[in-house]
Chains A and B, each alone.
Chain A
Amino acid sequence: MNAKIKREPLPSPSDWTFELIERYHGEIARVARGYKLDTYANQLEIITAEQMMDAYASVGMPVIYRHWSYGKQFISTEKNYRRGHMGLAYEIVINSDPCIAYLMEENTMAMQALVIAHAAYGHNSFFKGNYLFKMWTDASSIIDYLVYARNYISECEERHGVGAVEDLLDSCHALMNHGVDRYRRPQKLSLSQEQVRREEREHHLQQQVNDLWRTLPRKSGRSAEDEEASKRFPSEPQENLLYFIEKNAPLLEPWQREVVRIVRKIGQYFYPQRQTQVMNEGWATFWHYTLLNTLYDEGLLDDGFMMEWLQSHTNVVFQPPVGHRAYSGINPYALGFAMFTDLRRICENPTEEDKRWFPDMAGSPWGPSLDYAMRNFKDESFVGQFLSPKLMRDFRFFAIRDKEGDPELEVAAIHDDSGYRQLRESLSRQYDLNHREPNIQVWSVNLRGDRSLTLRHTQHNDRPLHDDAQEVLKHVARLWGFDVHLESVDSQGRVNHRKVAGPQAA
């Protein structure tokens, strides 16, 4: 793919046209094929800034059920945009098949090309290849499912009132991050099955629930009752709170269980995204950078065009140092882009250090190596596996330990020989979902007594929950229908206990 003959550059006026977008896309697609990027087919959609705000407000989805929180999101997005506090993102891309990428009308031709390379080839290939996305999402059916969800919920609103549906959705949203079985493969979403199965599921479910809560004694006879009383329910702690509620909450009506399920399924769709931010953005940024530079080397892009997108690129991958006015944690674009670029360097030009740290990678062909990294990792393991000493030096990473009760912070490790391993582990942990989000599981249900539900929070490094927990518990109580307890257990085994009365208690 070296420059054989310098070709006539593509026209690069600042105003785009449909014809030009198609030509640019054609060239980008050709180069991407050369690099063996495997993607879903692309569907590019031209939208206005206002539509971009709509998409923004509805968690980036083209269709979503109605809820006030999206209205709130829209209002604040619109306000910030109008006041010029923020530019709109250049791109929104949807993990669907065909992969939908939005091109904003206001963008110049150079920016459209950047978005096509970034979203339609970078993100798109990540969606198709990464194991988490393969396991948790089904690109071919998500749009259908969203349409189904929207219709179902608007039907519920008509039948049961906007207020009732809103309360239910509020409660479900509070638990949206706790709607995934992390260790079990989910069933694929499919619209036709969903609809066919829904009704029988509703009947069946209700039947089961009724069984569980049967109040008539099965047999008179003490031994049987004792045996049953000693049986725990659930027999093992359950981490999928929404699933547990959907299946076991005593008082929910069938339609409410279906709404819980819808929120759970959509939450599940976002589950991989929460764990692959660095990788996903890094991968997309690496590829827009590589693809456009390749076109430049072929002589298809002129200098002005390059300057324009490079400026945006530079802004996106800027990492302000700690203490900087703009610092708000590690920029996933910066880290991800640097890591993939560094991996390529390790493959192509390994140093002695690289050979010691990455014996398998150093000197291997970079294409397959990067592809392997993209497919089989998530942020946590990606950093744990591939963050090189050179990058730690480049970023000047250092780890700070914050111990409760200690009046001062301690520098735990810095970018030196003795610190690389610890630093890398520490950063890797930082991206571990279990570390970022509290570990809360369904612990037990009092079947014989007041029907209360007990959740257990196992503290990670003795970190307590923040005050929202009380509010979330109210939502759990609303779904469960009876009292809800939350036990928070620290490393010493001490239990901090909270309780919220269920709506039925009074």
Chain B
Amino acid sequence: MAMLQQIIDRRLSGKNKSIGNRERFLRRYREQIGEAVRRAVSGRSIRDLEQGEDITLPKRDVSEPVFGHGQGGDREYVHPGNREYVKGDRIERPQGGGGGAGSGSQAGDGEGGEDDFVFRLTKEEFMRVFFEDLALPHLIRTQLAEVPEWKSHRAGFTSDGMPTNLHVVRSMRGALARRIALGGDSRREIRELEAHLLHLRRSPRVADALVQREIRETEAKLEELRAKAKHIPYLDPIDLRYRNRVRVPVPSAKAVMFCLMDVSGSMDEARKDMSKRFFMLLYMFLTRHYEKIELVFIRHHTQASEVSEEEFFHATETGGTVVSSALTLMNDIVRSRFPSGEWNIYGAQASDGDNWHQDSGRCRELLTDQLLPLVRYYAYVQVADAEQNMWEEYSQLVETHKNFAMRKVADAQDIYPVFRDLFKKERGPA
């Protein structure tokens, strides 16, 4: 009767068995999750986009119905812990539960309480939903989701590594130091004993039995010490030193991103939200390519001003629109703070296309003469469908300037195409 079949160590096998089930769960609630992600995106700063998020689902939605008993009817329940009751006592009905708390295990937990089902979406899952909204092509998704390139970098020495990285000089130096440190005492003792032995042998009373014994003893001791010294290994595994290499992400240089947005009265929350996604996408693209990214927020109505991100997205203004004011301000800032020799400059402009009609021509001129020669890329989205003179003026630029792109955006998934050239260009070997 072999009672114990075996003990199996399963710790290293079959982790994350539930991943497939989790995916199915997310798939089932993709609409609610998508909604929650959209809400989260509008609440987040451009820089903090890439995080997980707590998702709340109404308990009702995630419950699995089964047939069960409801309130009503005649019931009898046995409870433990009677203190004062005797048969026939009448008790006031407790609030809420018909049969007292005891029905808990009977009724099942189908809809006990109206607690919501809350869980955390991981960063990866969050970004997947975000990308899905933007209808990013898969190649771009992976490009953005992964840190693009790594560079291997020397970083001192470590005590373990691959044989190819073995640093011989360092290892030998370590071995020598160890041998000295470990053998120091015995060697001094050997030297002393040798001197002593010599002294004994030369002594006049060398034939004396006592001296003879001491000689023998000293010799034995010497023998032992020499053997001990010999046991100190010449090279020990702990001496080995390897060149250490660390991998660092390759982002090359620094970039500055200008966010220009019209905040005149006609830009409502939905349009601003759309614009925000446009800025976010460009920002994410830049983070993959540049080590350091500065953000400059310029908002404008009839006048332009540089503001914080908070003010940029949330303050409302009224009044007319003079777009050129923002371009002029951007031009000034570039020239004073971001010399184009050191900085890769990106411009992103969002507007509803509304402009003081004589100003649009001036905008085009500003772009052609001043800004476009300085920037790596300039993208314009119009978050309204109206045909305005600004659209016409800008359209003339598309043909002549390869680093200019524009697009009308009615829906989040229209945003990506404005960057299409950008992603295409940058994807090639830099």
Contact = CB atoms under 8 A, between A and B. Distances in A.
Chain B interface category by residue count: 35 or more
B102 A437 contact: no
Contacts of A402: 74-77, 93, 98-100
B105 A329 contact: yes
B22 interface: yes
Contacts of A170: 64
Interface string B209-253: 000000000000000000000000000000000000000000000
Interface in B2-45: 2-11, 14-18, 20-28
Contacts of B76: 399-402, 412, 426, 429-430
B67 A162 contact: no
Given A166-B24, A407-B93, 16 more contacts: A22-B7, A44-B4, A44-B6, A46-B11, A50-B16, A66-B24, A67-B21, A105-B11, A330-B102, A395-B81, A399-B76, A399-B78, A411-B87, A426-B77, A469-B65, A472-B66
Contact of A461 (B25, B62, B66, B74): B74
A57 B5 CA distance: 26
Contact of A324 (B22, B71, B81): B81
Nearest to A99: B5
Nearest to B63: A468
Contact of B22 (A41, A71, A409): A71
Contact of A472 (B15, B65, B82): B65
Interface of A: 18, 21-22, 25-26, 29, 32-33, 39, 41-48, 50-51, 53-54, 57-58, 66-72, 74-76, 79, 98, 105, 162, 166, 170, 173-178, 319-324, 327-330, 395-404, 407-416, 418-419, 423, 426-427, 429-430, 436-438, 440, 457, 459-469, 471-472, 475
Contacts, number: 285
A462 B7 contact: no
A25 B85 CA distance: 48
Contacts of B18: 53-54, 57-58, 70-71, 74
B319 interface: no
B86 interface: yes
A71 B21 contact: yes
A72 B88 contact: no
A396 B82 contact: yes
A29 B87 CA distance: 48
A464 B117 contact: no
B24 A411 contact: no
Contacts of A174: 64-66
A45 B12 CA distance: 12
29 contacts: A18-B7, A41-B4, A41-B5, A47-B10, A68-B28, A74-B22, A105-B11, A176-B66, A396-B81, A396-B82, A396-B83, A397-B78, A398-B78, A398-B85, A400-B78, A401-B74, A402-B76, A404-B72, A404-B74, A410-B90, A410-B91, A411-B85, A411-B88, A416-B87, A423-B78, A430-B76, A430-B77, A464-B73, A469-B67
Contacts of A407: 93
Contact of A409 (B15, B82, B91): B91
Contacts of A98: 5
B68 A46 contact: no
Given A45-B10, A401-B74, A408-B93, A68 B21 contact: yes
A463 B70 contact: yes
Contact of B79 (A29, A322, A404): A322
Kindly list the 10 A-B residue pairs having the minimum CB-CB distance in the complex, ordered from nearest. Answer: A321-B81, A463-B73, A466-B70, A71-B25, A71-B21, A471-B65, A329-B105, A468-B65, A398-B82, A74-B18
